[in-house]
Amino acid sequence: MPKNTLSCKEATRLLLEDEDHEIPAADRIALQVHVKICFMCQRFVSQLNLMRRATQAWRKHGESDVDDTP
């Protein structure tokens, strides 16, 4: 593996960090390069997107719809 490429494990860590706070620009670039060529990490990105959307929807659901459940 070339020296300055990330492993999937490192890419995953950065992706998760990025959910919560901005990661350094250099890391972001390395991450983009990795994700572009790695279909497994692309899947992980989609999973994170789904989880993010789901939590947003869930939050709203918790606030406005709590009584729909019997």
- 49 lines the binding site for another protein (CB under 8 A): yes
Rounded Cα distance, 55 and 45, in Å = 15
Nearer to another protein, 29 or 53 (CB): 53
- Residue selected from 28, 29, 32, 47 as contacting another protein according to rule CB under 8 A: 47
Rounded Cα distance, 30 and 68, in Å = 45
- 50 lines the binding site for another protein (CB under 8 A): yes
The pair of three-digit structure tokens given for residue 48, joined into one six-digit string? 């994170």
Q: CA triplet 14, 39, 56: central angle to 5 degrees?
A: 55
Contact residues for another protein, defined by CB under 8 A: 7-10, 12-13, 16-17, 19-21, 39-40, 43-44, 46-51, 53-55, 57-59, 61-64, 66-68
